[in-house]
Amino acid sequence: MAKTSPITFFRQVRAEMAKVTWPTRRETWVSTVMVVIMVILAALFLFVADWIISSVLGWGINYLGSLF
């Protein structure tokens, strides 16, 4: 692979950055809100699942403990 000079490299980077289609402020805002909502929903789901599993296991352990 041929080495390029730093000046050539930065010119190429600048040319590639000009080709990028950047999202609008509104698209960025909507995407951010959707990510926050999904994170909250995932956290709630995991909280409820953890609570249910720990309750069932606690009940099972107490039940088995009462048998012996």
List the beta strands (DSSP E) in the chain: none
- Residue 23 vs residues 15, 17, 20, 27, 31: alpha-carbon distances, Å: 18, 13, 9, 6, 10
- Do the domain assignments include residue 63? yes
> pLDDT (tens digit, 0 to 9) for every residue of the chain, 68 residues total?
678 899 999 999 999 999 999 999 999 999 999 999 999 999 999 999 999 999 999 999 999 988 87
Q: What is the pLDDT of residue 1?
A: 67
- Do the domain assignments include residue 16? no
Domain that holds residue 64: 24-68
- Do the domain assignments include residue 15? no
Q: Is the pTM of this model over 0.75?
A: no
Work out how many domains the chain is built from and give that number.
1
